[in-house]
Amino acid sequence: MSVTGTYPPVGLDASRLEASRDDALLHVIVSLSVVALTVSAFAVWTPFGIAATFLLTLIVANAIPAGVPVLIICAFLYQNLIVTWYTPYIPDNETFDALRGTNFVILMTAFCIFLAASFQQRVRALTELRFWLLLSIVLCGTICFYLALGIVHGQPKDAVVYFRNTITPLACFHIAVLAASLYPVDLRKSMFWLGAGAIIYGYVELTFTMDFLSLFHGDLYIQRNIARQIETGVWEKSLKETGFVFRGLQDVMTTTFFNTPFFNDILPSVFRIGGPNFHSISYAYALSIISAWLLFRGRWLLPIAALPLLLVIGSKGATFLLLIALAMRIIYRPSRARLTLAAVLALAAIWTTAAIAYGATHGDYHVLGLMAGLRDFMANPLGQGLGFGGNLSSTSLNLSWATAQAEGVASVPVESAVGVMLYQMGVGSFVFFGFLAALAVAARRRLIDTGDPDFLFAFVGIVTISANAVLQEEAFYSPLALSFCLLLVGVSLGSHWREVATARTSQQT
């Protein structure tokens, strides 16, 4: 981001906005190039990768600050596709993890740049931004406090992993809202191109499966992840608890339709695609969020094309988000905005209640993990610190689901983002929940005042993803779920406030 004021801060004219639209292709090309170069730098040597990533992100942030949101989207969605090319040459898991962490270095570099720019006079002049910048700083401080608590009381590596997952949504929002408040950020073409690429990739992967993945070492990428799971005893534990016998890569990549046993005797098993980011649930959220955003922009083709892929992946939460978006897009009229918003809240509440009720009677892992989070929060409202509990923490490796089902609660919170966050951050988690609630309220007000469907997307996205987070850890912690959503929400709010500031300046002159 330009910290010297080279770019006009607020009040850009129509010709400037039109030029910004023409820059969409430049933003996409530069972003993909930066992601490729930074991953390559990490493949050479991790310290060199960190330095190169910091430098390239700094250059992009100063040269084309309006393109930083596109850079973050490209890093989240397409980075691992580039990592696959280096997989055969990566000597150890530490280097492999470093390559996959490139997008976080990009994100945090951009976050630090925009955070520093928040104290500029031209930013402070935007009165609408002040509350959100203050709230961002408070939430950032809260997360850092629990990071320190987790490092002191637990495993530093676990604490850092959950710090990354918890800070990412905040960083995405802060970057996007500040960039859009100062510069014309138009994502329509960029989102269409990136979404079309992700959908085409999904259909090719679904059609040609491992033959397609083997063209760029995607099969070796997956095998490396599975080998790590074998070393840590994941499949041995699965054999004891469920009787599932791991026989090869195809077993892992094959699942029942919509990832549920209800269709076992009706429909054949399907290849569970992972997308260019090589994670099925995250890929499903990316498709769902891109599709929902495009829907409220009047684009129907890509959302309809994405729906079959969501059904194949079987992510119920991501599919729920898109179905709600489709329904609201159909029924929404500016004259009945309040009714539409109430319908979103009602459907989200029904969805969550039904899922908990069903899971509680069937020993569902997600419900057992949520119950553990509520139990441990009541026992220690302050919180344990980041890194305790959760699917990605070493503290959950010895969790026995058979015992959990017998007792009606897991030994540590897992599977539920809300349960894990309550366990880790205690009362501090309410700052995070309050941040999301404040964003939903802001989106509601802007929708009622302006009728702009962008704010209906913001409300639908925040409410449905938050509802999913009650029983799904990826909803909050996957970069392509809540973080991606808040990036787009930040762009919508920032663009609106920039227009308000422009109008205010025009009236004063």
Higher pLDDT, 341 or 509: 341
pLDDT of 237 reads: 54
Single-letter amino acid, residue 44: V
Predicted confidence band of residue 123 (pLDDT cuts 50, 70, 90) = confident
Range of weakest confidence among 76-90, 227-241, 271-285, 414-428: 227-241
The per-residue pLDDT for range 172-213, each reduced to its tens digit, is: 999 999 999 999 999 999 999 999 999 999 999 999 999 999
CA dihedral 282, 285, 289, 291 (to 10 degrees): 110
pLDDT of 15 reads: 41
The per-residue pLDDT for range 371-395, each reduced to its tens digit, is: 999 999 999 999 999 999 999 998 8
Higher pLDDT, 346 or 123: 346
Predicted confidence band of residue 256 (pLDDT cuts 50, 70, 90) = low
The per-residue pLDDT for range 450-464, each reduced to its tens digit, is: 999 999 999 999 999
Geometric angle at alpha carbon 81, from 322 and 226, rounded to 5°: 90
Predicted confidence band of residue 281 (pLDDT cuts 50, 70, 90) = very high
Backbone angles phi, psi at 270, to 5 degrees: -125, 155
Report the run of H or E that residue 101 belongs to, with start and end: none
Helices (H) and strands (E) in the chain, counts: 24, 2
Residues of the chain with pLDDT > 70: what percent?
87
Whether residue 373 contacts residue 429, with contact meaning beta carbons closer than 8 Å, is answered with no
Whether residue 73 contacts residue 112, with contact meaning beta carbons closer than 8 Å, is answered with no
Predicted confidence band of residue 46 (pLDDT cuts 50, 70, 90) = very high
pLDDT of 11 reads: 35
The per-residue pLDDT for range 397-446, each reduced to its tens digit, is: 888 888 888 888 999 999 999 999 999 999 999 999 999 999 999 999 99
Is the predicted pLDDT of residue 3 greater than 60, yes or no? no
For the chain, give the mean pLDDT. 89
pLDDT of 402 reads: 83
pLDDT of 139 reads: 97
Higher pLDDT, 227 or 232: 227
Geometric angle at alpha carbon 387, from 427 and 379, rounded to 5°: 40
pLDDT of 215 reads: 95
pLDDT of 14 reads: 40
Helix (H, G, I), strand (E, B) or coil at 248: coil
Whether residue 317 contacts residue 282, with contact meaning beta carbons closer than 8 Å, is answered with no
Higher pLDDT, 193 or 265: 193
Is the predicted pLDDT of residue 508 greater than 80, yes or no? no
Predicted confidence band of residue 120 (pLDDT cuts 50, 70, 90) = confident
Tokens of 136: 């961002």
Helix (H, G, I), strand (E, B) or coil at 270: strand
Whether residue 71 contacts residue 60, with contact meaning beta carbons closer than 8 Å, is answered with yes
Higher pLDDT, 120 or 104: 104
CA distance 222 to 220: 5
Q: What is the mean pLDDT of residues 219-232?
A: 78
Tokens of 78: 């397409």
Backbone angles phi, psi at 255, to 5 degrees: -145, 170
Whether residue 74 contacts residue 38, with contact meaning beta carbons closer than 8 Å, is answered with no
The size of the chain, in residues, is: 509
CA distance 370 to 417: 8
CA distance 211 to 198: 18
pLDDT of 216 reads: 95
pLDDT of 6 reads: 37
The pTM of this model reads: 0.92
pLDDT of 239 reads: 45
Is the predicted pLDDT of residue 62 greater than 50, yes or no? yes
Single-letter amino acid, residue 203: Y
Kindly list the domain boundaries of the chain, sorted by start residue.
Answer: 216-331, 332-509
Report the run of H or E that residue 271 belongs to, with start and end: strand 270-271
Neighbours of 289 (CB within 10 A): 27
pLDDT of 250 reads: 62
Q: What is the mean pLDDT of residues 225-232?
A: 68
pLDDT of 254 reads: 73
Is the predicted pLDDT of residue 500 greater than 80, yes or no? yes
Q: What is the mean pLDDT of residues 327-355?
A: 95
Range of weakest confidence among 15-24, 128-137, 402-411: 15-24
